Structure 1
């Protein structure tokens, strides 16, 4: 069984009634009605094509990608821990 690389997108909408149409692009993890955004998981290899399709939609305001892959995951020991 292979693990498929996935990434998350934060999609800001003009109206939350369009949340249903967003479902066909990926898996919705979280939605906030007050701030009008949806967190969506998609396959990483299809990310560019999906973002391009989403930006063409009239009801999408802004799309933010996940910063997770740019975060530092391996930490070195601090100087005070070495001695």
Structure 2
């Protein structure tokens, strides 16, 4: 079995009743009814294609990619730690 690389998208909707319509684009992990957004995972190879399709839908207000790729994962020693 091959592991497929996925990427998380945060999709903001006008109304949460449209959540079931976007299930065909990826795997929904979490949905927030108050703020009207959905976390969904999509195959990395198809991200651009799916984002284009989602942007064309009239009930999607905004799509944000996961900030995980841009986060710093390796930290240097802080200045106060070097003194000890």
Length-normalised TM-score, structure 1: 0.90
Q: Which runs of 5+ in 1 are unaligned?
A: none
SS at match of 2:10: strand
* CA distance in structure 1 between the partners assigned to 2:57 and 2:38 by the alignment: 15
**How far is 1:79 from its partner?**
3.3
* CA distance in structure 2 between the partners assigned to 1:22 and 1:37 by the alignment: 12
Residues 5-34 of structure 1, C-alpha deviations (whole Å, 9 max, x = no match):
211111111111110111001110100111
**RMSD value, Cα:** 1.3
Aligned match of 1:12: 12
Length-normalised TM-score, structure 2: 0.89
**How far is 1:58 from its partner?**
0.8
Say how many residue pairs are matched: 83
* CA distance in structure 1 between the partners assigned to 2:81 and 2:73 by the alignment: 19
Residues 62-77 of structure 1 mapped to structure 2, 5 A cutoff: 62-77=62-77
**How far is 1:80 from its partner?**
3.4
